[in-house]
Chains A and B, each alone.
Chain A
Amino acid sequence: MTPAPADLSGLSGRFLAMLGPHGVITDPVRLRTYECDGLTYHRATPAVVVLPETAEQVAAVVRACHETGTPFVARGSGTGLSGGALPRSDGVLIVTSRMRRILEIDVENRRAVVEPGVTNLAITEAARPYGYYYAPDPSSQQICSIGGNVAENSGGAHCLKYGFTVNHVLAVELVTPEGEIVLLDAMDPGYDLLGAFIGSEGTLGIATKITVRLSREPETVTTLLAAFPDVETGGVAVSAIIGAGIVPAAIEMMDALAIEAAEAAVRCDYPPGAGAVLIVELDGPHAEVAHEFARVDAICRESGAFAVRVADDPARRAAIWKGRRSAFAAVGRISPAYLVQDGVVPRTALPAVLAGIERLSARYGIRVANVFHAGDGNLHPLVLFDDAEEGAGERAELVSGEILDLCLEHGGSITGEHGVGVDKSRYMPKMFTAEDLDTMQLVRCAFDPRNLSNPGKIFPTPRLCGEVPGVRKGVHPLVASGEADLF
């Protein structure tokens, strides 16, 4: 059941005047195409959808929302996995799909200037002829928008070495929640508002133009696939690689169930009998990569790998990655329904947390396939269930939630790349104190005093901006828990 959209016909009329009939959607059937993002079990039909083509149009729409106190939500390609682009039935959905121009590929300055609706991969494709690429590479890169990447601070398989969106964005032009066009530029002195905006999930305004850093393609890329009897031995290899002072571009692991799913879906032909596979990618200057590859190869074998494959041409590399890239969708082959979780633990806690997940799985009778960025401890457990079976969905939810508790117990995070959105706002108080959250609200209030930009996301029922917090007495929970003043 989704709430019925509110009547915003007055506003819609103004939008029609600003954007023309092609830029405004009020038809209920067409509105429904926008009722959810990649997290399909949260749905709401927006009251009206607008499709602006310029920053000025976005600003005009937002100003009208601000004047009338109407909430608005930005949407890129709708691939988000935390319900960040979930519309409001009493609000406006601002979709960037008509802002898809690559404005400049500036090779000399190693940067590109693009509109927010441009897909992640399109930037790389435009830069490739010059020997450059855009480094952050979420698995959804063919469709997700750079605006969505900025909002989520998206990562990718290669962020172990190259970092996240925030490390590759040089400037953002945004429309503030009050409808002003402002430039946040890494070259400016003062507070790093650019950094604070990236990852704010559409709650601090709408990005209308983005300048990204382009990276030089590495001289060599070598990819290695190692098959292990189980996840534990694979984990030993990961520790040994990091311990040897090597920072690969990527270290990805899949467990037996994830491999089974990938084989069923795309026949990736991983070594038979593998209880876990590890994909290690090394890139950089020839001489470095050759040396490090020899070390990684030896480490894998010493740690118990029973088969090692190597690829140094694009075709064979694609074959190795095929299974990994398909993993999310592939579990659809072995389970009628599934939840994708996204949690992070310190890398050294991986064995304990994986064992914990196995116990949860056994306790609730719910299978969990594990695909993870082993280098940085970012887990993507896929919680499998049969939605036809009574209570299975609820049990899966419990397992998924308790996995996050496990991550927090081990000093981790409730999300490494998919964001908080609506999905995880209730976990925020488990990770942060009331003071932490109130302080984050100060940023929100500075940008969006009327709380109109994607309200209800990230934060559980925030204080209003005018409210003054009660005088805080007593001990901060961090101090009480001994964490803050340990020594």
Chain B
Amino acid sequence: MTPGEALAATGVDARAAGPGDAVAGVTPRWVALPESTGEVALVMRAAAEHGLAVVPAGGGTKLSWGYAPTRCDLLLDTRRMNRVLEHEAGDLVVRVQAGVTAAALASALGEAGQQLALDVMAEEATVGGVLATAAAGPRRLRHGTPRDLLIGITVVLADGTIARSGGKVVKNVAGYDLGKLFTGSLGTLGVITEATFRLHPLPASRAWVTATSPDPRVLTAVATLAGSQLEPSALELDRPGTHGPLTVAALFEGVAAAERAKAAAELLGDGSAISSGPPAWWARLPGERPAPDPAELLQETPGGHPTEDGPGPRLTESSPGDRSLEERVPQGGGFLLELRVPPAFAGRALAAVAWASDDAGGPPVHVRGSAASCVLHLAVPVDTPPGAAEIFVTSLRSEVAGDGGRLVVWTAPPEAAARLDRFGPVGAATLMRRVKERFDPEGRMSPGRLAGAPPAGSGT
């Protein structure tokens, strides 16, 4: 049997791949469209028998994150796994398939007055993709990141083994937490097929306070706010120009949100404004086009969303599975970096960004992110010369190292990508490599994606 025949013999929907299915420039040979954990296992067993390299994909919005895979024979598209399996409102718990989009989940839970307290950052982003990238938005300040809300997970390993950890209760310490391990794994350990999350009630009201200041001194007020008893849910900053003015925004949630926002506005000083909606840049990565209207997206995926009375209908064959990745991936293609420092060093981090840009000949850098947790995203234009990008990364990384900072290069144009150390030094690199070798001894899961975090050439 050829690999193609073996895939067909599983009975799981699959098709030949086209150039539109390329993952960071690497075109797979097949695309599989499983609908359940069991189907993923069938596909993975067939892939194991034929030594196929597999890259899982969710919404495809962040397939360019990390190194390009060194091989990709099979793209495992999870978007038909889009059902809400269990939602017990009284338990504040939901179990979903990994291909459910964040937006669809939000609307399903919203009907019960509940939410998964993660920010919906890209309407097509799936639960699996959010976990695999460990992506979190502004409300990380109050609710943490995906790993803090995940209480159970089901995964399928490279050899087709189905494994589960955690459960559907909020409090549970039985066994190792595989969910944590798979958070941030970028598809290199296995396929996430189901996830169970703890939920929160939707807040009664929300209020934002925004203030724009000519320089980073406003961060002192941000620090005061972060240490205050007003309990903001989020504290974000946006600085479109490398040396330009800075906008900060705080979110308050709850019955007395407006009252707390008023107190925060006093702290932030003259020129701060209170609003009932977020600023346009809220929960968006810098350098990406603004999100499309969610209503539009819902129309594009008929039948793909769970309905009130339970799981959604199965998708028909011509549903969004046929929109190629190319059509789904946000355009831009520039550099996206993630800078983390301990919160007290936010001001120094912004200064370091400006210096590093000067060192590199002045490419404009757009900084945006969580001011109080100090997780900042940096966008650098696509036409920045590779040499300048390299100087920027090296210089910024060494600048923040003294403060215990980290710099990750999530995306880079192909010419520059080859020259950049994407992850920088990672203390636990050897342990990560060993975990990878145990879970995927043949190196067939998204090979190369995390290379560099573990020492180069380690096969990870």
Contacts and interface: CB of A to CB of B under 8 A. Distances in A.
Interface of A: 106-111, 131, 152-153, 155, 159, 163-164, 166-167, 176, 180, 182-185, 187-196, 198-200, 216-219, 239, 242-243, 245-247, 284-285, 287-288, 291-292, 344-348, 373, 376-378, 411-420, 424, 428, 431-433, 435-440, 442-447, 458, 469, 472, 475-476, 478-479, 484-487
Contact of A446 (B200, B231, B260, B438): B438
Interface string B294-323: 000000000000000011000000000000
Given A195-B147, A285-B229, A446-B437, A436 B177 contact: no
Nearest to B86: A486
Contact of A377 (B41, B171, B189, B431): B171
Given A109-B344, A377-B171, A195 B88 contact: no
Contacts of B228: 216
Interface of B: 36-38, 41, 83, 85, 88, 90-93, 113, 134, 144, 147-148, 154-155, 157, 160-165, 167-185, 189, 194, 200-202, 204, 223, 226-231, 254-256, 259-260, 310-311, 338, 340, 342-345, 404-406, 408, 423, 426-432, 434-439, 450, 453-454
Contact of B428 (A166, A188, A347, A440): A188
Given A285-B229, A285-B231, A478 B438 contact: no
Contacts of B177: 166, 195-196, 198-199
B38 A193 contact: no
Contacts of A446: 431, 434-435, 437-438
Contacts of A243: 90
B171 A187 contact: no
Contacts of B170: 344, 376-377
Given A167-B148, A416-B172, A346 B154 contact: no
B169 A412 contact: yes
A192 B454 CA distance: 13
Contacts of A284: 231, 254
| 10 smallest beta-carbon distances between A and B, as pairs | A195-B180, A287-B256, A245-B201, A439-B163, A108-B344, A219-B229, A183-B427, A416-B171, A413-B172, A446-B434
Given A184-B428, A193-B431, A292-B255, A155 B36 contact: no
Given A185-B428, A199-B177, 17 more contacts: A109-B342, A110-B343, A182-B430, A189-B426, A191-B183, A192-B147, A245-B204, A287-B256, A291-B256, A378-B171, A428-B175, A432-B174, A436-B165, A446-B437, A472-B161, A479-B37, A484-B38
Given A167-B148, A182-B428, A242-B90, A192 B134 contact: yes
A9 B405 CA distance: 46
22 contacts: A163-B148, A191-B184, A191-B185, A192-B147, A195-B179, A239-B90, A245-B201, A247-B201, A287-B259, A287-B260, A344-B170, A377-B91, A413-B172, A415-B174, A428-B174, A431-B167, A432-B174, A436-B164, A439-B178, A447-B434, A478-B162, A484-B38
Contacts of B189: 191
Given A189-B453, A247-B201, A420-B174, A476 B183 contact: no
Nearest to A445: B438
